[in-house]
Homo-oligomer: A and B are copies of this chain.
Amino acid sequence: MALNAAGRDIPKEVDGRRLKPFAGAFATPPEKGRRMHAPEKPMVPPGQKKLLSSLDEVFNRIGLADGATLSFHHHLRDGDFVVNMVMERIEKMGLKEIRMAHTALFPTHEPLVKLIEKGVITHTEGSVNGPIGQAISMGKMKGVATLRSHGGRVRAIQDGDIEIDAAFIAAPTADDYGNCNGLYGPSAFGPMSYPRIDAKHAKYSVVLTDNLVPYPSVPISIPQHQIDYVVPVERLGDPERIMTGTMRITSSPTRLKIARYAAQIVKETGYLRNGFSFQAGAGGISLAATKFLGEMMKKEDIHASFANGGTTKPLIDILNAGLIDVLVDGQTFDLVGIDSLRNNPKHVEIGADFYANIHNKGCNVNTLDVAFLGATEIDTDFNVNVNTHSDGVLLHGIGGHQDVASGTKMAMMLVPSRRGRVPIIVDRVQTITTPGEVVDVVVTEKGIAINPRRDDLLEALHGSSLPIMTIEELKDRIQRETGRPKEPEFEDRIVGLIEYRDGTILDVIRQVKV
C-alpha cells in the first residue's frame, strides 16, 4: 500500500493487475517512446459480403473463446436491447469469464447480474449504473470492476489496456457494408461518439441495425472500413427509453437558487465574455443554470465560441438564438437535439477521443472555460464522488466528470446541500471520482465554496454578494441540519478500481458489509 496523490491507499496489485497510483492531474505523461495499441491488419477483397442474417451467424464467424472481451456502447441508454440480446447468446454458447468493455450499463441490463453470479461475466470495464453496480458492491463478481471516464476509456483502448475481441455497435442507420450513424431510424439516438474508438481497435467490429438502408449510408459516423459484419435485428431498443424526452429543467426553488448562483459566478469571475465556452450537463440543475446563463448572454449581448453537450433543448435554444457559434456534441438527450444535429451545420458530432482523451494531441475539454457538473459527495479537500452513495454502494459511472473537471478552466459542482439526511459535504468522500485539485467551485443553496488553490477566483469574487465561505464552513452549516453521516462498513476485498483518465489509480471500492 502507498498513498497516492489524492491521499488514498492504493495496493501494488489487484486481481493480477499491477497498479500505478494517481500522481496528480497531469503528472503522469506517457512514458518516453510509449506507443499506442496496433490493431491487426485486415483485408476485405471486393465481393466479400458483410451482411449476415443473424447474431448466431456472427458468432460462427468470429469464434469467441472463454475470457473474450466484448464491447458495447450506451447511446440506447435504458432502452437498450443489444447488450442483453448478445449476452443471452454468450451464455447459451457456454462461454465463461467474459470481460465486459461496455461504456455504461443501465437498470435494463439487470439480467446480467445472473451472468455475473454464474461466472459468465467476471470483469467489467465500464460504468455499472444501478443493479450491476450493486451486485459488484455485494461481492458477486469474481474479478474487479474497473471504472473509467469517457476519455479514460478511449485512452485504455488506444493503449491496449483493453483489447477488444468483438465490438457490438448499435447503429440506428447502417448500410450493408457498415457505414452507420445514429441520426435516423426508429432507434435514433444522435451522435455515435463512444464506439468510434472500439471500431478502430477491436479485432472484430459488428454493426447491429434495425434500419438497413442502401449503400452508401450518409452521413457516416463510423465508416465501413472499420466494420467486419452487419446484422439486421428487429429492434435495437425501446424508443421511449432511448430518448429521455424533453429534459426537465428543475422546478425546485432550492435547485433554481443553485442554478442562479452558478450563472452569477460565471459572470462575476469574468468568464462570461465574448468567445467563452461552456459545458452544460443534462441534470435538472445544470439545465436551469444553462438557461440562466443563456438569458445573461442574451441580455449582455455575449456569445460563446462553443458549448459542449449532453445536448438538450435548453442548449439548442441558446444555439438557435445565435448565442453559441458551434455546438460540439457527443451525446444527445432529446429529439430536439437530434433534429438540430441533422440539420444545423454548426451543431457537430464528435467522438470521445476528440472530446476527452488526455493522451492525444489536445482534446476538447482542454479548451473549455466553464463546466457545470454534479456530485453525490464532496469532501473538504474538494474531492468529488459520483460513483458510490454514502452507503458505499457502487451505483453510478464516471461519465465525463474527471475529463471535464481537469480540462476546464472553472469546474463547478452544482449540488443541493443534502439529499434527505445525507449532507453533500463530508470530511472524506467514500470514493474519489475526481481529485480535488481540479475542482474549483462548489455551489449549494446554503453557500458557495471556492477551492483555495484558486486565488484568482477568490479575488474576482471579493466583495461579491454571493454567499461565499470556506468548504469547512459550508460543511458545518449543512451538517448542523443533517448531522454527521453514518460511515458504512466494508469488507477487505476490493471489488472496484477508479482509474484516473491517465490510467493511474485514484481509488478503490471495497465490498460492502451486509
Contacts and interface: CB of A to CB of B under 8 A. Distances in A.
For the complex, would chain A's binding face be called helix, strand, loop or mixed by DSSP majority?
Answer: loop
Interface string A353-369: 11001111111111100
Contact of A35 (B40, B325, B362): B40
Interface string A296-321: 00000000011000000000000000
Interface in A29-75: 29-31, 33-48, 50
A216 interface: yes
Interface in A1-42: 26, 29-31, 33-42
B43 A30 contact: yes
A205 interface: yes
A142 interface: no
A328 B217 CA distance: 11
B30 A218 contact: no
Interface stretch (A121-129, A223-231, A249-257, A479-487): A223-231
Contact of A216 (B42, B43, B214, B305): B305
Contacts of A48: 362
A408 to B, nearest CB: 8
A119 interface: no
A362 B40 contact: no
Given A178-B361, A218-B348, A360-B225, A36 B38 contact: yes
Interface in A345-393: 345-346, 348, 350, 353-354, 357-367
B407 A226 contact: no
A189 interface: no
A111 interface: no
A219 interface: yes
A33 B40 contact: yes
A25 B220 CA distance: 28
Given A177-B362, A362-B224, A216 B326 contact: yes
A306 B360 contact: no
A159 interface: yes
A346 B326 CA distance: 22
B35 A360 contact: no
Nearest to A220: B348
Interface residues of A, number: 66
| Residue of A50, A220, A406, A408 with highest tally of chain B CB at under 10 A | A220
A223 B364 CA distance: 10
A225 B361 contact: yes
A208 to B, nearest CB: 16
Nearest to A306: B216
Contacts of A358: 43, 45
A35 B33 contact: no
Contacts of A39: 35-36
B348 A223 contact: no
A502 B44 CA distance: 12
B214 A305 contact: yes
A42 B30 contact: yes
Contacts of A407: 46
B42 A218 contact: no
B38 A205 contact: no
A186 interface: no
A178 B366 CA distance: 13
Contact of A44 (B227, B275, B362): B362
| Residue of A178, A357, A366 with highest tally of chain B CB at under 10 A | A366
Contacts of A360: 42-44, 225-226
A306 to B, nearest CB: 5
A30 B360 CA distance: 28
